[in-house]
Structure 1
Amino acid sequence: MWRYAKMHISNKQMLLKTCVVVILLSDFSIAKDWCYFGCENSLPHWGKHYPKCNGRKQSPINIDTQKVVKNQELGSVDLINFSLPHTMKMLKNNGHTVECELKEGAVGVRGGGLKHKYTALQFHFHWGGKDLVNHPGSEHSLNGHRSPLEMHIVSRRSDLNDSTAAKVQDGFAVMGFFIESNEKEKQKETSQVWESFTDYLQKIPRKGDKVRIMEPFSMHQLLKGVDLSKYYRYNGSLTTPPCDEAVVWTIFKDPIRISKDLLLRFPTKISFGNVYRPQQPLNNRVVYASTALTAGYTGTTEHILHHPTNQGP
């Protein structure tokens, strides 16, 4: 009897271990690396390993400015410490994009109808091919027009960590900036800053390469020329796996304008291109327009996405 019981327990332990191994292998399969093209888990297969990529509130989208809802509660976005130098820590090539890591807790975002304060974590880029005209790389578009590049500044709710933020629809706030070519003299100062910033690209051509940012850049210098009161707002997702539907998107109308040769540094200095996700269905979501985009409108909207709150810096 004891021998049978011992064997029975042993079999149960073996079954438990087998189940654990199966679960771990399953999790490993789900967490396998992804790519845009050229690998097993490329764009058409994201939904297989990351089911959230099949959701109904996915990003990016096209913004039809004739169908946006006017929202008088969306004022200017408050960018905390964006004018401070030395907030950029490291520029790295992660095999999917070029990502600039920001110093922990150095900069943040609030206001502009956001319900919470957010801590900026990093910013990265999406671009197309070497032919900027026929192969633009922005993920979002305005009335069907896509720009050569798009920059995303990713921030997380200051009261949450990454895992908890991914579970709520406003866990992350991502600001999208279109980047266009402009050779006008008034943009000379902006291009000079971008020239110094993009000089780093030649140091990180391959996946895994990284370089420390030494120049005293400020985030504000990269955004010169953008009216922070003119933007569109909607609820969506991360545009890369796991595609969590946990993002409050702010897409600014005014583009950042830099010289064409600086735009070309992204698809030429980095060993890959066409790093963008195709646009996703809106699926009855509402896209809102900020107050500055609806000047003269005196009514209110039936659906309000977020209410501004007063928070400390």
Structure 2
Amino acid sequence: MTFAYLCLFLSLHVIRVRSSEDWCYDILNTCDAHSCGGTQAWKSIEECGGNKQSPINIVTRKTVLDEKLNHIVFHGYDKGHSYALNNTGHSVQLTLTGPNDITISEGGLGGTYLAAQLHFHWGSTSTFGSEHSIDGERYPMELHIVHKKPTGRSAAGSSGEAGSIAVLGFFFEVQTNNNINFDPIIKELPKIQAKDSTVTLNDIILQNLIKDVKTDNYYRYEGSLTTPPCSEVVTWTVFPDPIKIGESQLKEFYTRVYYSSDAIMTDNFRPVQEIGSRTVYRSGVEAILSHSTFVFFSLVVAYFVSAP
């Protein structure tokens, strides 16, 4: 039995993840009896073996237009607040809860959702690191802004009703120049290198972080949290227009932060999951605008043709 085959055997047949707190990404999977097993071992954790798991690969030609997916209303995104930035041991997270409510509504969400936190997923280079992909294309990093219904369970909870959590997913695209809107977060990364370390950021305006994105253009599907317990309670909104970020800024994520004292935090993404019988819908705002424009010009042409 070769060493590589032995590792695979141990990962799939010996290792068992005990709880939703005992898991890791593939980069930390090792060939020993104490290994966490990587993402393959997640299937034994609560809902991680379900049939509505996230992330997925969005095949654009198979998406279905839904004109009910209109403008998303962002409330409080334009206000500056102080938030705690911390190293969770799996990502860099900004806690958004506090006295100032930040919400999203409309956009076919069927209610108002309260912002809970945002976090990032990245790779080990500037080439790939996103969780979702579009037509097989992956991006170097992905931002998730997690919201929950005010009467629902915690966004990190292991149970709840379908649609009790709404997550906005944003891709990143590398450019030469730095994106100054992310400087307040990136310059503090050296202070949260260790797991569970925290620092306070002041006057953070969420709208500035996503200003590159056309928020009327998005995909929508029903899925799960992308980390254990993988609860299948998430309404996903994924925006194809990427946020711009400097290559040197991106590098700070995969060189500054650590899972543990001897393991740098890289490749903290879950592989794409089977979409199964689910449908991915695309927003109808642009289609509605295009139709309205067509109708307008048709009326103009008809007027001049019929004019004496």
Does residue 1:223 correspond to 2:205, yes or no?
no
Task: State the partner residue of 2:163.
Answer: 170
Q: CA deviation at 1:41?
A: 4.8
Does residue 1:74 correspond to 2:72, yes or no?
no
CA distance in 2, matches of 1:179, 1:237: 21
Amino acid at match of 1:45: A
User: How much is the aligned-residue C-alpha RMSD, in angstroms?
Assistant: 2.0
CA distance in 2, matches of 1:146, 1:269: 22
CA distance in 2, matches of 1:165, 1:233: 22
Sort the Cα spacing of 1:118 and 1:294 in 2 relative to 1 into closer, same or farther, 3 A. Answer: same
CA distance in 1, matches of 2:133, 2:172: 12
The number of residue pairs the alignment matches comes to 260
Task: State the partner residue of 1:281.
Answer: 274
Amino acid at match of 1:244: S
Task: State the partner residue of 2:152.
Answer: 160
CA distance in 2, matches of 1:293, 1:281: 28
Would the aligned equivalents of 2:21 and 2:228 in 1 still touch at CA under 8 Å? no
Task: State the partner residue of 1:34.
Answer: 23
CA distance in 1, matches of 2:64, 2:216: 16
Q: SS of 1:79's equivalent?
A: strand
Q: SS of 1:153's equivalent?
A: strand
Cα shift readout 1:142-192 (whole Å, capped 9, x = no counterpart): 1111110000000001222328893211010000000111236xxx6xx11
Cα shift readout 1:232-289 (whole Å, capped 9, x = no counterpart): 0000000000000000000011111011111111101112100000000000100000
Does residue 1:234 correspond to 2:234, yes or no?
no
Q: CA deviation at 1:297?
A: 6.5
Give unpaired runs (5+ residues) of structure 2.
Answer: 1-16, 30-34, 259-264, 293-308
Q: Which residue, 110, 114, 118 being the options, matches 1:115?
A: 110
CA distance in 1, matches of 2:158, 2:73: 21
Give the share of equivalent positions with the same residue, in percent: 36
Q: CA deviation at 1:31?
A: 4.3
Would the aligned equivalents of 1:156 and 1:165 in 2 still touch at CA under 8 Å? no
CA distance in 2, matches of 1:81, 1:267: 30
Would the aligned equivalents of 2:122 and 2:141 in 1 still touch at CA under 8 Å? yes
Would the aligned equivalents of 1:165 and 1:246 in 2 still touch at CA under 8 Å? no
Cα shift readout 1:6-34 (whole Å, capped 9, x = no counterpart): xxxxxxxxxxxxxxxxxxxxxx9434421
Task: State the partner residue of 1:194.
Answer: 182
Q: Which residue, 30, 37, 45 being the options, matches 2:41?
A: 45
Would the aligned equivalents of 1:165 and 1:172 in 2 still touch at CA under 8 Å? no
What TM-score does the superposition give when structure 1 sets the normalisation length? Answer: 0.79
Task: State the partner residue of 1:58.
Answer: 53
Q: SS of 1:53's equivalent?
A: coil
CA distance in 2, matches of 1:82, 1:91: 17
Task: State the partner residue of 2:245.
Answer: 258
Q: CA deviation at 1:220?
A: 0.4
Task: State the partner residue of 1:100.
Answer: 94
Task: Specify which structure has the higher proportion of strand.
Answer: 2
Give unpaired runs (5+ residues) of structure 1.
Answer: 1-27, 299-313
Would the aligned equivalents of 1:60 and 1:239 in 2 still touch at CA under 8 Å? yes
Q: SS of 2:190's equivalent?
A: helix
Between structure 1 and structure 2, the one with the greater Rg is 1
Q: SS of 1:51's equivalent?
A: coil
Amino acid at match of 2:80: P
CA distance in 1, matches of 2:78, 2:241: 19
Would the aligned equivalents of 1:165 and 1:171 in 2 still touch at CA under 8 Å? no
Amino acid at match of 2:36: E
Q: SS of 2:117's equivalent?
A: strand
Amino acid at match of 1:119: L
Does residue 1:212 correspond to 2:200, yes or no?
yes
Would the aligned equivalents of 2:184 and 2:201 in 1 still touch at CA under 8 Å? no
CA distance in 1, matches of 2:136, 2:212: 22
CA distance in 2, matches of 1:91, 1:68: 36
What TM-score does the superposition give when structure 2 sets the normalisation length? Answer: 0.80
